Amino acid sequence: MLTVPEFRHRKRDGKKVIVVTAYDALFTRIAEQAGIDVLLVGDSLGVVVQGKRDTLAVTMDDMLYHTKLVAGAAQRSLVIADMPFLSYQVSVEEAVRNAGRLLQAGAAAVKLEGGAVVLDRVEAMTKFGIPVMGHLGMTPQSVHRYGGYKVQGKEQGQAQALLADAKALETAGAFSIVLEAIPAPLAKTVTDALTIPTIGIGAGPHCDGQVLVLYDLLGLFDDFTPKFVKPYAHLKADALQALRRYKEEVEQGKFPTDSESYH
């Protein structure tokens, strides 16, 4: 099992951290067989599993369910669970309780979005032994503030604020920070300024690790594909072909044959 301290030491050792999202036991086992280090039970499940337009409707119950599936199947990877919208914004107390529930469901750490506004949450969780990953840049739970999924940190003021947030998260106790959809040079500046690993998604090659949404990486989800996604497979096309052939063969009486029948 990769531990949180081992994850942190990857930066010192110069070994990239490989992260993908996971939502169920089947893909957890496949990702582990491929040697993936970290499984993030992302609230992106609201979009890729539940079919919503954004992540805002994902609930604690949804996250607990999917965290149990992933953590139940994981044998060697570090499982991190996303804190969904409204599970940590209302008060420090609620944030700590909900983070603790995700650990009870099997996660080893939680991730939450935001900088200065969540520092007291990060401090409290860390104090009580809950490892916290930060998330800066284009934070999807703020999609309505941005007016869409847009690259952040392009202006100097924004970039300076993001760097200050990253340093403050580290001081508050975060063991790592996801940097999403920010210019690569800014991600490098942040990565160089921190002693904790940065994990990039749409943040260029200089981060200490990378994360992608599993269904994007596998070419399963193509409702919209951000510039930073590289599909390493085309499983949607394969699935479509398989399903069409199955339909055709049943219609034509070619399936099942004798070899798929009991005698």
* Catalytic positions: 180
Q: Any long-range contacts for 258-263 (C-beta under 8 Å, 24+ apart)?
A: none
- Check residue 142 and report its DSSP letter: G
Instruction: Quote the least distance from Cβ 52 to ligand KIV, whole Å.
Output: 12
Residue number with CB closer to ligand KIV (42 or 173): 42
Per-residue exposure over 176-208, b if at least 16 CB sit within 10 Å of its own CB, e if not: bbbbbbbbeebbbbbbeebebbbbbbbbbebbb
Which CB atom, from 144 or from 263, has the smaller least distance to ligand KIV?
144
Q: How far is the CB of 259 from ligand KIV (least distance, A)?
A: 42
3-class state of residue 244 by DSSP: helix
Alpha-carbon gap, residue 196 to 209, rounded angstroms: 11
Q: Left (φ > 0), alpha (ψ -120 to 50) or beta: where does 91 sit?
A: beta
Lookup: tokens for 127: 């104090």
Length of the chain: 263
Nearer to ligand KIV, 43 or 165 (CB): 43
Q: Which residues bind ligand KIV (CB under 6 A)?
A: 21, 40, 42-44, 82, 178, 180, 201, 211, 213
Closest contact distance (angstroms) between CB of 207 and ligand KIV is 12
Q: Please, what is the minimum distance in Å from the beta carbon of residue 66 to ligand KIV?
A: 11
